[in-house]
């Protein structure tokens, strides 16, 4: 779900669909290196990856290097966190939000599995 060391998986336009369809619940952090709020959200995404390793797929998509996925999901601002359940987009969270917000949304989807 995450890499062997419990870190988010780096995704690309080419690997995105396979990753999202591989797990029941997936969250993807859409970010860019120059984005201040993205740098604030990054440690939260890494904590979620460690804490939910084995339960949730966690990925990161650099929107500067990958343009197709942001266009498909109409990502206009970053960071945007996409949350999928069984390959279907369930939540699109825009901005650097608290960890409890993301964990709450993930947990709600896990309960309804």
pLDDT for residue 112 is more than 80? no
Polymer length in residues for the chain: 113
CATH number for the segment(s) 9-111: 3.40.30.10
pLDDT for residue 47 is more than 90? yes
Q: Of 20, 35, 41, 78, which one is the catalytic site residue?
A: 35
According to the model, what pLDDT value does residue 6 have? 82
**Overall average pLDDT of the 88-96 stretch:** 96
Average pLDDT, the chain: 93
pLDDT for residue 1 is more than 60? no
Radius of gyration of the chain, Cα coordinates, nearest whole angstrom: 12
Distance CA 102, CA 91 (A): 10
The answer to whether the peptide bond before residue 79 is cis (omega within 30 degrees of 0) is yes
- Active-site residue flag, 35: yes
According to the model, what pLDDT value does residue 29 have? 98
Distance CA 92, CA 97 (A): 12
pLDDT for residue 57 is more than 90? yes
Q: Which residues make beta-bridge pairs with 80?
A: 30, 94
Whole-number Cα distances in Å, 22 to 1, 27, 45, 89:
8, 12, 19, 14
Tell me the whole-structure pTM to 2 decimals.
0.93
According to the model, what pLDDT value does residue 4 have? 52
74: tokens are: 């109409």
- Active-site residue flag, 30: no
**Overall average pLDDT of the 67-93 stretch:** 96
**Percent of the chain predicted with pLDDT > 90:** 88
Q: Of 25, 27, 38, 102, which one is the catalytic site residue?
A: 38
72: tokens are: 């498909």
């Amino acid at each position: 779900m995450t890499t062997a060391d419990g870190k988010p998986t780096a995704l690309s336009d080419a690997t995105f669909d396979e990753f999202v369809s591989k797990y029941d619940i997936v969250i993807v952090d859409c970010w860019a290196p120059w984005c201040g709020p993205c740098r604030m959200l990054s440690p939260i995404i890494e904590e979620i990856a460690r804490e939910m390793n084995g339960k949730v797929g966690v990925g990161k998509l650099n929107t500067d290097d990958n343009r197709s996925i942001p266009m498909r999901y109409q990502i206009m601002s970053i960071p945007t966190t996409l949350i999928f359940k069984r390959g279907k987009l369930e939540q699109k969270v825009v901005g650097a939000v608290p960890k409890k917000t993301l964990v709450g949304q993930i947990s709600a989807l896990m309960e309804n599995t």
